[in-house]
Amino acid sequence: MTSLSRASAPAKAILVGEHFVVAGCPAIAVAVDVRARAEARLLAEEGVVEVSSRELGSGTFGAQADPRSPLYPVYAAARAVLARAHLNLGLEVRVESDIPPGAGMGSSAAVAVATVAATASLLGLRLSLEEVSSLAYEAEVVVHGRPSGIDNTVSTYGGAIYYRRGEGFVRLEADLEPVRIVLADSGIPRSTGEMVSKVLALKSRHQGVVDRIYDAAARLVEAARDAIERGDYETLGELMNINHGLLSALGVSNAKLEELVYAARAAGALGAKITGAGGGGMVLALAWKEDAEEVARALAKVSGRVILAPISSEGVRGEG
């Protein structure tokens, strides 16, 4: 055991396939190099976990931990590692995150993944990436019910992940260095659950028509996977634009999201689309590394929050 361990884990963004993934189509998500960090130390008092968060304040958890506390997921992640190590030591866990919460970027999963890795390293417990991901998932289940598992997977492994609900994940072999991700916030709040229900209701009202859109989306994701594996980012960008059109057809776009998408394209993005549930939230643009600043500048004129980041080929990592 050491006296202090640190780890960090990246955010995620869905590149192609959101909404369609709910009905069994594949999707691809990427790790975005905006990170959550965790730091773990041993405490003298057994069975106690003190959690502090730059964003959420601090709290102490013992035998009677309150699952409604916003810090509970951090505690749950540390506790999952202690249980795995069959230890009941006292811990102090500090977390901080540069990932905007509630933006569909997997901030809670990244915090959980970083917490699991920092705690395991503190305890001298050597976990495989699969174990880190699944312990973080355990902590996520406490807060989010039964999430798909994509957030903790992307945050743990990094890179680009192809997935299909209930069928596991494939990490794509890709050179992601030539491109950057630019995310722009519409500033419009939205509920993922409501957007998903709205889309499924449209699908059931117009089954024969909308099923064709889902078929197109499934083919599009396969083509996008191919393009990523070939490093053909022009084709990927075009496919992202088509994906945006399909999402618009499902009714999840609006005037603000279209403004952001067209601003990104006009500034030289390879492709731009809604990412996540739509109705508000974020737009994602893919750009060549050399063009990304220009795309970010154009988006900053019409968005209150713009994030420019590489795709992180590295997932969770120790921070010394």
Catalytic machinery residues = 151
Using left for φ > 0, alpha for ψ between -120 and 50, and beta otherwise, residue 9 falls in: beta
The DSSP H or E segment spanning 207 is helix 207-230
Residue whose CB is less far from ligand MEV, 59 or 280: 280
Residue whose CB is less far from ligand MEV, 75 or 163: 163
Residue whose CB is less far from ligand MEV, 18 or 39: 18
The DSSP line for 133-147 is HHHHHHHHHHHHSS-
Residue whose CB is less far from ligand MEV, 97 or 275: 275
User: In whole angstroms, how close is the CB of 271 to ligand MEV at the nearest point?
Assistant: 18
Contact 311, 15 (CB under 8 A): no
Residue whose CB is less far from ligand MEV, 12 or 37: 12
E-strand stretches of 223-298: 271-275, 282-288
Residue whose CB is less far from ligand MEV, 217 or 295: 217
Q: Which two tokens stand for residue 170?
A: 């494939």
User: In whole angstroms, how close is the CB of 196 to ligand MEV at the nearest point?
Assistant: 5
User: In whole angstroms, how close is the CB of 279 to ligand MEV at the nearest point?
Assistant: 10
Q: Which residues bind ligand MEV (CB under 6 A)?
A: 14, 18-19, 21-22, 104, 148, 192, 196, 276-277
Residue whose CB is less far from ligand MEV, 21 or 267: 21
Give the up-direction half-sphere exposure of residue 140: CA atoms within 13 A in the CB hemisphere: 25
Sign, Cα dihedral of 292, 297, 298, 300: positive
User: In whole angstroms, how close is the CB of 71 to ligand MEV at the nearest point?
Assistant: 23
The gap from C-alpha 278 to its chain's centroid, in whole angstroms, comes to: 15
Contact 228, 236 (CB under 8 A): yes
User: In whole angstroms, how close is the CB of 145 to ligand MEV at the nearest point?
Assistant: 11
Buried b / exposed e across 8-20, counting CB within 10 Å, b at 16+? Answer: bbbbbbbbbbbbb
Where does residue 245 rank: exposed (0-12), middle (13-18), buried (19+ CB within 10 A)? middle
Give the up-direction half-sphere exposure of residue 111: CA atoms within 13 A in the CB hemisphere: 29
User: In whole angstroms, how close is the CB of 18 to ligand MEV at the nearest point?
Assistant: 4
Tally helices (H) and strands (E) across the chain.
9, 12
> Rounded to the nearest 10 degrees, how much is the dihedral formed by the CA atoms of 287, 109, 111, 181?
0
Give the up-direction half-sphere exposure of residue 197: CA atoms within 13 A in the CB hemisphere: 5
User: In whole angstroms, how close is the CB of 87 to ligand MEV at the nearest point?
Assistant: 35
